[in-house]
Amino acid sequence: MPRTTAAGSATAADTDIDAVTDAVLTASRLLVAVSARSVSAAGDLITLPQFRLLVIVATRGPLKHVALADYLGVNPSTATRMVDRLVAVGMVSREHNPASRREITVKLTAAGARIVRQVTARRRKEIAKIVAKMPDTARSGLADVLSAFARAGGEPPAGTTLETIWS
């Protein structure tokens, strides 16, 4: 709810934040639908939350369960169960951290990396179709705005992979 001034009216900044928040919520419904369709096209191997886990490991490298849970916004036991399921289908592996043999890290397998590439390619194609339908004037500046939004939320840019981070 917007804050009000002494005269009882909402401030322009609050109104702007509310309008932008509503627009992002509406766009997020579309993006979640696109995401769900792209993941379902991969078959019954993974769920949308599991795909998110794969993307996190693909863009951030091997992670301990606690760090993975933090990135996912879930408790560590939930992350562990997700990892268990992904290990069972060959998408991730658990390995001893070479720097500390007591630590176990979650690492993407070749099959997991392939799923991330395939699902991302489907998602990119569907999003490109939507963006192409937008008027040029509405598209102008959208990349900058959405990039700023993603940065504010701590999300690496699309196309970020371990190879681009570490090379």
Question: What is d(CA 49, CA 39) in angstroms, rounded to the nearest whole number?
Answer: 10
In a domain, residue 163? The reply is no
In a domain, residue 6? The reply is no
Query: Regarding predicted confidence, which is higher, 10 or 127?
Result: 127
CB burial of residue 81 (10 Å; 0-12, 13-18, 19+): exposed
In a domain, residue 67? The reply is yes
The mean of the pLDDT values for the chain is: 86
In a domain, residue 110? The reply is yes
pLDDT tens by residue, 67-91: 999 999 999 999 999 999 999 999 9
Residue 164, pLDDT above cutoff 50: no
**Sign of the alpha-carbon dihedral angle for 132, 160, 54, 45:** positive
- Nearest by Cα to 51 from 112, 123, 126: 112
Residue 34, pLDDT above cutoff 60: yes
In a domain, residue 1? The reply is no
Q: Which amino acid, one-letter code, is at 146?
A: L
* Tally of structural domains, the chain: 1
C-alpha dist (Å) from residue 140 to 18, 19, 25, 153: 22, 19, 20, 22
DSSP 160: -
| Per-residue pLDDT band at 7 (split at 50, 70, 90) | low
Q: What is the CATH number of the domain that holds 133?
A: 1.10.10.10
In a domain, residue 9? The reply is no
User: Helix and strand tally (H, E) in the chain?
Assistant: 8, 3
Q: In this predicted structure, what is the pLDDT of residue 165?
A: 41
In a domain, residue 65? The reply is yes
Does this model's pTM top 0.85? My answer is no
Structural domain containing residue 50: 15-156
pLDDT tens by residue, 97-150: 777 878 899 999 999 999 999 999 999 999 999 999 999 988 888 888 888 888
In a domain, residue 165? The reply is no
Q: In this predicted structure, what is the pLDDT of residue 108?
A: 97
